[in-house]
Amino acid sequence: MSDPSSLSGLRHLAPQQRLSLVARAKQLSDAQAQSLSGGALDLATADGMIENVIGLFELPLAVATNFQINNRDYLIPMAVEEPSVVAAASYMAKLVRLNGGFVTTSTDPVMRGQIQLLQVPDPGAAEQALLAASDEIVALANTHDQALQALGGGCIGIEVHRFNETAVGPMLVLHLLVDVRDAMGANTVNSKAELVSPLLERITGGKARLRILSNLADKRLATARIELDPQTLDTDNYEGIEVAQGIVEACAFAEVDPYRAATHNKGIMNGIDPVVVATGNDWRAIEAGAHAWAAAKGRYTSLTRWRLEQGTLCGSIELPMAVGLVGGATRTHPAAQAALALLKVESANELAEVIAAVGLAQNMAALRALATEGIQRGHMALHARNIAISAGAEGEQIAEVAGKIVAMGDVSLDAAKAVLNQPDG
C-alpha cells in the first residue's frame, strides 16, 4: 500500500472492516489484530496488574489517519471516549500532509530522581561536598540495573538544589540524572535514588527523606513543528489567511491568560492522552509533566505557539514526554503491545515525537474551529451519535437519528427521543 496512513473512506466501514484494513496496512498478525478488537485483557492478568480488581473497563479504541511525521507514515491508536477527537486529528494531519508533514525532534530520555536531605548542619558546605563526590555517587547509582548501562543508559550525572527557607527548615535536594533508554524509567530511577541515599547522608551529615523521580521531565522533551500555506485552510465561508490569523490570535489569548491556557492545553491533551493510554503508558505522569512545563517560567501559559511568518502559518509544540516501550502495562497488556505494533515505533523517543505531533494536530483542530464556526458545530455533530444511543437507538437507527437531530439543529436527548417515537423513526 503506497500511502498506508491515509486509508480514505475508513469512517464509512464497519468496525471489523476497519480493523481488517488497518491490520493489512501495517502487517499486524492475527493475534495482534484480535487484541485491538476488544477483550484482550483477561481478568486474571488484570488481577495481577493492580489491587482489588473486580472487573474490566474499556474505552473505544480508534485510529487517527493521515499522519506523516519526518517523512514516515503512521496510523495512530487512540483510546478515548470523547467524540470529534479522532476525526479532528485525522483531518488536521491530512492538511499538514499537503504541506510536507510534521517535523519532530526529541532529546535524550533523561529522567530526574530526587533525594530530599534535611537536618544538614552546613548546607553550603554540604552542597559543595556533594558536587565534589559526583563521580562516586554516579558510580554507586550505576551498580543498580547494569543491564541499562549495557544498552547505553544509566546515571549520567547529578545536580544539587539548595532551599535555604522552607516550612521544615533548610533543605538540600540532589537530582540523579538517569538516561532510561526505552523505558518510562520510574522503577529504575526510584531504585537508584534509594540506593545512594545512605551515601548522601554520610557526605552531608543530614537525613534523607523523599527518594522519588520527578514527573517534570524537563530533560526529556519532544517537539513537533508544522508549516502551512494558509490557502490549505480555505473553506466555503472563510479564506485560509483569515483562518490562519484567527489561529494565531486564539493562541495569543492562551499565551497571556491562564484561564484560557488551561482549556487550550486540555485540548492538546485530548490528542496526547489517548495515544499514551492506548500504548499502556502513564497518562497521569504525562499530564503532570505537561502542565508543570506550561508553568515552568512562573506563569501558566500555552504549550503551543502559532505565528504567521512571511505568509506561512507556523505551529510548534514542546513538552516533556516520558513514555516507554518496555515495562509496566506496555509489557503486560496485550492491547498495548498490539497498539505499539500498529505504530511500528522503534524507540521511546520516536513514540514521544509521534505523540507530540498528535498534540499539535489536535490543538490546530480546536483553534481552527474556534476561529471559524465555533467549537460546538463539529463537536455536536459527532456527539449526536452518543445522544441517539442514550435515547435508545440501536443498529442502523443510530446514524439515522443522529443525522436527523443534526439537521434539525437540536442535538439533545429530547429531540432524539422525539425522532425515535415518530412513526417512521
Could you give the CA distance from residue 67 to residue 362 in angstroms, rounded to a whole number? 12
- In tens, the pLDDT along 63-89 reads 999 999 999 999 999 999 998 999 999
Catalytic member of 175, 291, 379, 417: 379
Mean pLDDT on 196-225: 98
94 is catalytic: no
> Residue 377: what pLDDT?
58
Summary mean pLDDT of the chain: 94
410 is catalytic: no
> Residue 36: what pLDDT?
94
Catalytic member of 73, 282, 318, 350: 282
Q: What percent of the chain has pLDDT over 70?
A: 96
47 is catalytic: no
Mean pLDDT on 35-61: 94
Indicate whether 308 pLDDT > 50.
yes
| Residue partners of 129: CB distance under 8 A and separation at least 6 | 203, 204
Could you give the CA distance from residue 246 to residue 122 in angstroms, rounded to a whole number? 56
Host H or E run for residue 197: helix 186-204
Indicate whether 389 pLDDT > 90.
no
Q: Output the pTM of the full model.
A: 0.90
Catalytic member of 42, 161, 249, 266: 266
| Residue partners of 275: CB distance under 8 A and separation at least 6 | 76, 77, 78, 354, 355, 358
12 is catalytic: no
Indicate whether 425 pLDDT > 60.
no
Could you give the CA distance from residue 417 to residue 415 in angstroms, rounded to a whole number? 5
Report residue 135 as a C-alpha cell.
563521580
CA 102 to chain centre: 16
- In tens, the pLDDT along 122-137 reads 999 999 999 999 999 9
Nearest C-alpha neighbor of 226 from the set 109, 346, 362: 362
Q: What percent of the chain has pLDDT over 90?
A: 82
- In tens, the pLDDT along 152-164 reads 999 999 999 999 9
CA distance from start to end of the chain = 41
Catalytic member of 82, 227, 257, 410: 82
Host H or E run for residue 389: helix 375-390
Q: Name the pLDDT band for 382 (thresholds 50, 70, 90).
A: low
